[in-house]
Amino acid sequence: MADGSPVTLFDPYAARAQFPILSRQVNGKPLVYLDSAASAQKPRAVIDAMTAAMEGSYANVHRGLHTLANETTEAFEAARDGVARLLNAEASSNIVWTKGGTEAINLVASGLGQSIQPGDEIIVSQMEHHSNIVPWHMLRERRGAVLRWIPVLDDGSLDMAAYADLLGTRTKVVAVTHMSNVLGTINPVRAITEMAHAVGAQVLIDGCQGAVHAAPDVQAIGCDFYAFTGHKLYGPTGVGALYGTVEALEALPPYQGGGEMIETVTEDAVRYAQPPHRFEAGTPPILEAIGLGAAIEWLSRFDHDAVAAHERAVYDHALARLDGLNWLRVIGAAEGKGAILTFTVEGAHAHDIAQVMDRYGVAVRAGLHCAEPLAKRFGLTSSARASFALYNTLEDADAFADALIKAREFFA
């Protein structure tokens, strides 16, 4: 832990008890929340930290000399320190606050886009979330960039041989997810980065899932940028962070203009602040950052490998319960994948399956999961997804399997 306390053994039932919402019922059944890849629930530590900040010590940050401003600034910057530790960043000054992973990626795309020339190539993968596709499409539309796509193999892993063939002298940016929000695939981001740097390209890693489940180490990965959001990491919505190396951030032009991101402003000129404040125009998400800092601190109490093993055990139990069902198609089976189970049911639309499962208190997501190119790759118009988190249990896996089988019987 950040305060030097020993990391505790992981007890999923004790962890689960710290999430007030998980004690409620839905449709007369105990809630089984399997939608954490979309947004995770919040532990009491996060709720209490944000409440305490609002009730006891709140003001705007950086700009005041009074006690409340100083206290709030200290808590706000302590949360930035927590993000730096989470990612193993070189320093807190490598961390830029954003309103989420989407804004973090857009910030980078906007900045890098100012030097993109017609014909310059940007490599993304077929498994990307729209947040890591659309900003690059905008550069295709506005700057004449060319998008190149890393194929996904049948098991849900990236075709690394094809990726090697895509790299060339026109490659300027490689933007890939650390962990797929649909397949659960954990990509070899260090190798991806090394290969991109060998041709002089910069690398952005979408860590919205990876920051939660893949133990990111940005120094070991070697990436130029790493983006993630708070609400999937057991923190609040409305806050995220961007990591950048010193060189990458210093070379990036401002994203938005306003207060906080400047050193001086005159009628004739403006001088911008140094990173990270150059990219933090206006009042930042103060309370949300404090909440995310509390989430990171809370999560640091547990051994990451033990949490990952537990999540995988719950996933494996659910999969074993469904083994042999010829009406079920599971999407994604890459080695070492995270605990995301995406599936289709023969003879039933995914939306209908999700609605019937909700009758039994089981919350799963259905749709394209903001990943249309991936859906097309696997011939899907829709799919359902159960995403397991540290607070899920073997009993949740059983409830999921039971509800899915009943849902199938409803449409059979």
Report how far apart, in Å, the C-alpha atoms of 177 and of each of 2, 46, 246 are: 27, 26, 22
Of 230, 249, 255, the closest CA to residue 241 belongs to 230
With both helix axes pointing from N to C terminus, report the angle between 44-56 and 286-299 in degrees, rounded to the nearest 10. 140
d(CA 253, CA 26): 48
Give the list of residues 6+ apart from residue 289 with CB closer than 8 angstroms, or none.
76, 79, 80, 97, 239
Helix, strand, or coil (residue 348): strand
The dihedral through the CA atoms of 159, 338, 336, 225 has a sign that is positive
Dig out the tokens for 147 from the structure: 């998008």
Dig out the tokens for 280 from the structure: 């933090």
d(CA 231, CA 99): 10
Dig out the tokens for 288 from the structure: 């949300």
Give the list of residues 6+ apart from residue 316 with CB closer than 8 angstroms, or none.
none
In 32-188, where does DSSP find H-type helix? 44-56, 67-87, 101-113, 134-143, 160-166
Give me the count of residues in the chain.
Answer: 412
The dihedral through the CA atoms of 154, 129, 110, 198 has a sign that is negative
Q: Any idea of the CA torsion for 81, 83, 86, 87, to the nearest 10 degrees?
A: -110
Q: Which of 84, 239, 339, 370 is catalytic?
A: 370
| End-to-end C-alpha distance for the chain, whole angstroms | 51
223 is catalytic: no
In 176-278, where does DSSP find H-type helix? 189-198, 210-213, 218-221, 246-251
The dihedral through the CA atoms of 39, 44, 49, 54 has a sign that is positive
d(CA 149, CA 165): 11
Which residues are the active-site residues?
370
